């Protein structure tokens, strides 16, 4: 049974969501189609560029992404507070980057004097747009519809391009976020189209590594370089000696080390014990080291709508009015935690 989006999103409980969209046609979204020999590799650029554009419009930031042959992954952070604090003019400016304003808003922008009733209509439009600018569904709609139109035009066909609506998954804490991001960034390695994170094209981790290397060359300072990020990606701000602006609550070096180790284990099809130097990173986030690799490797096979501690899942499901219906079915998500609150 399809679950309404409002019962999958609860910004009071978490701003982080993992979204997955799959192509409906047998022809690839990206890459080379073995049936026709035709390459669609250039479509990866469409998606990455569209993500960058939407990041500058919506109150939605990108934590991680991976563009695969027939599906995409995005890990998003919703900043509702920022949208609520935007001036009306900024809301209009952002919305009109994507859509034409209504005629009455067009008159308002032209400086034409409006009646009180007309101004009330303008205010209603602005509040409607403000809400949409921090809405996950509107973000994904703008991403997917744009790509579908371009692909259909290129393929000279009509009809659905995406397999129904996108999936969304709530990530309730740092442990869930870290595990999901690593899973997303390691998709090309899991699919055997890359052998290491830095060679994983069209992923956020490749982009972060290149940006970090360039920043380190320019600044000559490891600590400063580690706090930087591409403009459209949420920065890592964790670490004992780093300031705490808004961002991901763990450090870039820690994330790269963990994800690189997990990638090598997946590539070589080995498990083994996690290296002792990486164990403290996981322990700080209350992640069970022995479960880390298994959680990342099997994340997609054990997909749950909510990932978090037992208590976190309970709060989330109660907040959206689902009671214990998901709470009892989310056992896999508890695997990554060292202890689960009663």
pTM of the model: 0.91
Asked whether residue 60 carries a pLDDT value surpassing 50, the answer given is yes
Q: Which residues are paired to 72 by β-bridges? A: 21, 67
CB of 296 closer than 8 Å to CB of 262: yes
Cβ-Cβ contacts under 8 Å for 336 (sequence gap 6 or more)? 175, 176, 179, 287, 288, 291, 292, 295
Give the model's confidence band at 187: pLDDT under 50 very low, under 70 low, under 90 confident, else very high.
Answer: very high
Measure the CA–CA gap between 37 and 302, rounded to whole angstroms.
33
Cα angle 278-236-70, degrees, rounded to a multiple of 5: 90
Question: pLDDT digits over 76-131, tens only?
Answer: 999 999 999 999 999 999 999 999 999 999 999 999 999 999 999 999 999 999 99
> To 10 degrees, what angle do helices 43-55 and 136-155 make?
150
User: Could you tell me the strand order of the sheet in which 167-171 lies?
Assistant: 60-67, 71-78, 16-22, 167-171, 306-307
Amino acid 329: pLDDT = 46
Tokens of 207: 């982009």
Instruction: Look over the chain and give the mean of its residue pLDDT values, rounded to a whole number.
Output: 86
The pLDDT value recorded for residue 24 is 80
Is 241 a residue whose pLDDT tops 80?
A: no
pLDDT for position 285: 86
DSSP characters for 260-292? HHHHHHHHTT---PPPTTTHHHHHHTTB-HHHH
Per-residue confidence band for 17, with pLDDT thresholds at 50, 70 and 90: very high
**What's 111-148 look like in SS3?**
CCCCCHHHHHHHHHHHHHHHHHCCCHHHHHHHHHHHHH
């Amino acid at each position: 049974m399809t679950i309404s989006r409002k019962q999958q999103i609860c910004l009071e409980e978490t701003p982080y969501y993992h979204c997955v969209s799959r192509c409906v046609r047998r022809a690839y979204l990206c890459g080379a189609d073995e049936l026709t020999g035709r390459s669609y590799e250039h479509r990866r650029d469409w998606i990455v560029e569209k993500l960058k554009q939407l990041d500058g419009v919506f109150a939605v930031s990108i934590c991680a992404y991976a563009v695969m042959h027939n599906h995409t992954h995005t890990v998003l952070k919703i900043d509702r507070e920022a949208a609520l604090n935007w001036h009306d003019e900024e809301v209009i400016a952002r919305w009109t980057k994507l859509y034409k304003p209504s005629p009455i808003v067009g008159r308002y922008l032209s400086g034409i004097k409006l009646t009180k009733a007309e101004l009330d209509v303008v205010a209603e439009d602005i509040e409607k747009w403000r809400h949409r600018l921090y809405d996950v569904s509107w973000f994904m709609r703008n991403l997917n519809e744009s790509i579908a139109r371009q692909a259909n035009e290129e393929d000279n066909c009509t009809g659905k391009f995406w397999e129904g609506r996108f999936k969304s998954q709530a990530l309730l804490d740092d442990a869930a976020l870290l595990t999901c991001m690593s899973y997303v960034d390691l998709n090309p390695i899991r699919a055997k189209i890359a052998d290491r994170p830095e060679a994983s094209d069209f992923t956020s981790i490749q982009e972060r590594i290149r940006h970090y290397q360039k920043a380190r060359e320019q600044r000559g300072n490891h600590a400063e370089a580690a706090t930087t990020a591409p403009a459209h990606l949420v920065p890592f701000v964790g670490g004992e000696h780093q300031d705490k602006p808004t961002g991901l609550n763990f450090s870039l070096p820690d994330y790269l080390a963990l994800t690189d180790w997990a990638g090598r284990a997946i590539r070589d099809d080995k498990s083994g014990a996690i290296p002792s130097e990486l164990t403290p990173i996981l322990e700080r986030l209350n992640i069970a080291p022995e479960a880390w690799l298994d959680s990342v490797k099997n994340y997609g096979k054990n997909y749950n709508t909510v990932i978090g501690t037992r208590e976190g899942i309970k709060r989330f499901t109660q907040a959206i009015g689902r009671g214990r219906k998901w709470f009892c079915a989310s056992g896999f998500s508890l695997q990554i935690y060292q202890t689960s609150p009663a």
